[in-house]
């Protein structure tokens, strides 16, 4: 069975604290902040008082781990459900409370929960319950505001947020591809940004931005996120279609083999255009052909094993493949020479689960698409270079 992901949109006053609170709940896999159910499909932080939108947090959760009733219990713990257009010190229609749903089957659950909750209050509950009409993703600086600004304003007591279970940190690393949505990464996989830079006739990595680390996080797949490499829910607004079309055949079945006297080179043509196949002494194919020369053989092995997409594998005449022993990790690639942001370099044999619940072949190196335009989803096909995709 695949992961059962569901969505709910919660308005509970200033969205900074609400997002931070729900990001700490075990089973919540993705959050973003935005503006919901106003009088127009477009608005901004400075216009919501006019357009009638509420500050709202998008919550995507794994319903196998946390139920909608539990999500609502957490929600009611941090709001005053009898206060109209006010939470904490914040006043105005944008600070009203509301539960907005996208699955009509959730309505009965929400209604029943609020009816039961009403017995705890003398005043009537004024939380509005509506189907989601529209959700405008908020400006980038609002996303994960309290992670970026730990001392920032918050109208709720975050010390009351549930603690993630300790055993969660011992989960095996995994990437789950969601249908027309983000990559959900679990197991505390380290995430870094790496910048591809030229050095002589070859290429090396330079460290990029320091990215937040988490046990579970969602990485953008549609190429529209304002908080890339993380997902901010933009795939829903953009109606992203991320159908997986890549061959499920194993690498050995896909690859052709270039045979030379001292070294063989396997090549499945899945190119992310990172260009590490180029070395000072020539490209990997030229070097393999000349691998009778010990220097060229060594260079061919380096060129093949540093290819992030896993397209190239150098193999000796005894059938042994040359691979770098990577620990599980993910690099968000940047490629200033091509004026583009690259794919997600997934290292260390992290299992990748399709949206249909099946597993892709376990590999030491692959590059996943994050520009949203690959013709070989979910893998990168270098389209980011052609379209000059930028995550900035």
Q: Are 322 and 344 in contact (CB under 8 A)?
A: no
Q: Any residues with CB less than 8 A from the CB of 391 and at least 6 apart, and which?
A: 220, 223, 225, 228, 229, 332, 341, 370
Q: Which residue has the higher pLDDT, 209 or 152?
A: 209
Joined tokens for residue 3: 């992961």
The pLDDT value given to residue 164: 55
Residue 60 corresponds to which tokens in the numbers above? 């995507």
Q: What pLDDT, on the 0 to 100 scale, is given for residue 142?
A: 86
Per-residue pLDDT tens over the stretch 277-321: 999 899 999 999 999 998 999 999 999 999 999 999 999 999 999
User: Rounded distance, CA 376 to CA 241, Å?
Assistant: 13
* 158 has a pLDDT exceeding 70: yes
Q: What percent of the chain has pLDDT over 90?
A: 78
Q: What is the per-residue pLDDT for 151?
A: 64
Distances (CA, A) of 246 to 241, 243, 252, 266, 313: 15, 9, 15, 18, 19
CATH number for the segment(s) 5-164 = 3.30.1060.10
- Range(s) within the chain of domains with CATH label 3.30.1060.10: 5-164
Question: 237-258 pLDDT, tens per residue?
Answer: 899 999 999 999 999 999 999 9
Average pLDDT of the chain, as a whole number: 92
CB count in 10 Å sphere of residue 108: 9
Q: Is the pLDDT of residue 84 over 90?
A: yes
36-76 residue pLDDT tens: 999 999 999 889 989 999 999 999 999 988 999 999 999 99
Higher pLDDT pick, 136 / 4: 136
Average pLDDT, stretch 199-219? 89
Tell me the whole-structure pTM to 2 decimals.
0.61
pLDDT value for 167: 41
Closest CA to 262 of 317, 301, 318: 317
């Amino acid at each position: 069975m695949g992961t059962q992901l569901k969505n709910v949109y919660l308005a509970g006053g200033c969205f900074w604290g609400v997002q931070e609170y729900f990001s700490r709940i075990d089973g919540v896999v993705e959050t973003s902040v935005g503006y919901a159910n106003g009088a127009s499909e477009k608005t901004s932080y400075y216009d919501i008082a006019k357009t009638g939108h509420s500050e709202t947090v998008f919550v995507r959760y794994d319903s196998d781990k946390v139920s909608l009733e539990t999500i609502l219990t957490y929600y009611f713990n941090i709001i005053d459900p009898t206060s109209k257009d006010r939470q904490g010190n914040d006043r105005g229609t944008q600070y009203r409370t509301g539960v907005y749903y996208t699955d009509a089957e959730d309505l009965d659950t929400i209604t029943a929960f609020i009816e039961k909750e009403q017995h705890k209050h003398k005043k009537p509950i004024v939380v509005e319950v509506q189907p989601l009409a529209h959700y405008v993703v908020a400006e980038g600086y609002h996303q994960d505001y309290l992670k970026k600004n730990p001392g920032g304003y918050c109208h709720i007591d975050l010390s009351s947020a549930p603690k993630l279970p300790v055993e969660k940190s011992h989960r095996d690393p995994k990437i789950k591809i969601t249908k027309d949505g983000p990559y959900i990464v679990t197991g505390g996989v380290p995430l870094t940004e790496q910048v591809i830079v030229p050095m002589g006739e070859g290429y090396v990595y330079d460290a990029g931005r320091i990215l937040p680390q988490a046990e579970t996080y969602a990485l953008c797949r549609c190429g529209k996120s304002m908080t890339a490499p993380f997902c901010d829910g933009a795939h829903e607004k953009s109606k992203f279609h991320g159908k997986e079309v890549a061959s499920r055949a194993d690498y050995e079945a896909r690859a052709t083999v270039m045979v030379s006297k001292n070294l063989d080179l396997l090549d499945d043509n899945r190119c992310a255009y990172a260009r590490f196949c180029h070395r000072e002494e020539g490209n990997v194919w030229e070097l393999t052909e000349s691998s009778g020369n010990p220097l060229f053989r060594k260079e061919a092995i380096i060129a093949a094993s540093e290819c992030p997409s896993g397209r190239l594998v150098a193999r000796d005449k005894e059938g042994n493949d040359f691979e770098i022993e990577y620990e599980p990790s993910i690099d968000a690639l940047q490629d200033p020479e091509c004026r583009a942001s690259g794919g997600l370099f997934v290292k260390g044999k992290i299992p990748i689960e399709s949206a249909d619940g099946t597993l892709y072949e376990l590999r030491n190196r692959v590059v996943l698409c994050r520009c949203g335009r690959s013709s070989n989803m979910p893998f990168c096909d270098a389209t980011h270079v052609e379209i000059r995709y930028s995550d900035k």
